[in-house]
Amino acid sequence: MSKLEFYARPLVRFDPKNKEHRAYYHQFIKYRGWGRCPVRFICPDDIGYDLTIMIRNQLIDYYVTQEFENPRIRPKPIPVKSTQKDVQKAKKLVDNKKN
């Protein structure tokens, strides 16, 4: 085993559920490089594109499923405040449609 391999950063599979992995990707975006990342992420050969696109796609899937499959995270609907003029206009429209 060479010294370079001994001192190299460990190889890790990217997991979007892992908060540290998401933070490493944020550092990559912020500093435009992996130099500050303490691990090396593995990109399978059958993916067909590079590591950053693979991570981005996994994060998109993670956040979309988290938002739409978890009901407690869904945003509450914003109530619309109507003025008296709006109510009168709506009543006139309904009356006009009836006639």
Residue whose C-alpha is closest to residue 28's, from 10, 11, 8, 51: 51
- Other C-beta atoms lying within 10 Å of the C-beta of residue 16: 18
| Domain positions in the chain | 3-98
What pLDDT does residue 60 have?
Answer: 92
CA distance 65 to 59: 10
Q: What is the pLDDT along the chain (99 residues), one digit of tens a residue?
A: 567 667 778 888 999 999 999 999 999 999 999 888 899 888 877 766 788 888 999 999 998 888 777 666 556 666 667 677 777 777 787 777 666
